[in-house]
Amino acid sequence: MKNIKILAIESSCDETAAAVVVNGREVLSNVIASQIDIHTKFGGVVPEVASRKHIEVISAVVKEAMDKANITLQDIDAVGVTYGPGLVGALLVGMQYAKSLAYALGKPLIGVNHIEGHICANFIEHKDLMPPFICLVVSGGHSFIVYMKDFGDFEVIGQTRDDAAGEAYDKVARAIGLGYPGGPKIDKLSKEGNAEAIKFPRANFHEESLDFSFSGLKSAVLNYLNKMEMTGQEINRADVAASFQKALVDVLVDNVIKTCKIKGVDKIAIAGGVASNSTLREAMIKEGEKRGIKVLFPSPVLCTDNAAMIGSAAYFEYINGRTADLTLNAVPNLKLGER
């Protein structure tokens, strides 16, 4: 069987990325131009700034990806690109570039759902991973429990009803003076704190739902901080970070383990930026070992936004005959499984 080489482009938020991926699992190059330093001074991602930066660097990022892969544009079989969900201006930069490239080269264009990309990062990390399995997708903008029945065939079992997990991390980090990005900073500080020091709430829905809600947890942290300040008591930031993180991780772990039981599946794959969180990894592995469930994670570079994961997802779309034409447009609120 012919090796299928995909040039993939990702620009859904604040990373401009390009990669060359063979057969959905082998990465020849994976180049990421991060904008974290630019957005840190604003305390979060500014969409207009992100879009402009994508325009500035996308050509150089794609060229570097091709150079590192040591192939020419004529060698690729298709161009894959994220078309949603994400920031509309940022998505459009990557999409217009990919569409122009596909048109000029006479190659197929493949639109990729960003969340499906995160799930597919596990196929790169774990070469023998096959569906079915349960995937927990946790990032700055998304929190999903997904039952992956087959390649490209997803069932959403649970999702956040308000803030995503990573969003809650960023807001709490800002409140305790850690700044942006919140996830890694809270994870680091929490190692110095007592996770049992403060009892923050865990939202559970009564109607047998496996959805998440993190806005109440975030509000409880803000209320705790306000109360301590008003009564002149000293705030132990490490205890706040550790207690908040435990409350959030407990709910993630509980709901995913319940999903495995319901679906009779013994494999969990974690994906998204929060998947590199050490507390989540430790808690998930510990619960998995107790119940005979295998827990898989991608490397940190494949957890954050990158184009290799988009190349993997694009390959599975390609072999299923799902290509796009030049009318493909950005869909900022694209749902998982939508085509």
- 5: Cα within 13 Å, side-chain hemisphere: 15
User: Residue 311 pLDDT more than 70?
Assistant: yes
User: Residue 323 pLDDT more than 80?
Assistant: yes
What pLDDT shows up at residue 206?
Answer: 65
At which residue do the structure tokens 């619960």 appear?
Answer: 287
Give the whole-angstrom CA distance, residue 236 versus residue 329: 48
Percent with pLDDT over 90 in the chain: 75
Percent with pLDDT over 70 in the chain: 99
Is-same-fold flag (5-119+303-319; 131-298)?
Answer: yes
- Range name among 102-111, 126-135, 197-206, 237-246 with the lowest pLDDT average: 197-206
> Which CATH number is associated with domain 131-298?
3.30.420.40
Laid out side by side, the sheet with 109-113 consists of: 26-34, 15-22, 5-10, 78-84, 109-113
| Cis, peptide link before residue 184, omega less than 30° from 0 | no
37-51 pLDDT tens trace? 777 777 777 777 888
- Cα–Cα–Cα angle for 154, 99, 338, rounded to 5 degrees: 20
Q: What is the residue extent of each domain of the chain?
A: 5-119+303-319, 131-298
Centre a 10 Å sphere on the Cβ of residue 178 and count the other Cβ atoms it contains.
19
Using DSSP, state whether 304 is helix, strand or coil: coil
Assess if CATH 3.30.420.40 describes domain 5-119+303-319.
yes
Averaged confidence pLDDT in the chain? 92
User: Residue 79 pLDDT more than 90?
Assistant: yes
Give the whole-angstrom CA distance, residue 191 versus residue 57: 37
Query: Which H/E stretch holds residue 110?
Result: strand 109-113
100-152 pLDDT tens trace? 999 999 999 999 999 999 999 999 999 999 999 999 999 877 889 999 998 88
What pLDDT shows up at residue 318?
Answer: 96
What pLDDT shows up at residue 153?
Answer: 87
Bridge partners of residue 80, in order along the sequence: 8, 110
Residue scoring higher pLDDT (151 or 312): 312
What pLDDT shows up at residue 239?
Answer: 96
**Identity of the amino acid at 337:** G
DSSP 119-184: HHHHHHHSTT--S-EEEEEE-SS-EEEEEEEETTEEEEEEEBSSS-HHHHHHHHHHHTT--SSHHH
Residue 188 · residue 242 · CB < 8 Å: no
Residue 117 · residue 313 · CB < 8 Å: yes
pLDDT interval class at 1 (50, 70, 90): low
Residue scoring higher pLDDT (243 or 151): 243
What pLDDT shows up at residue 182?
Answer: 85
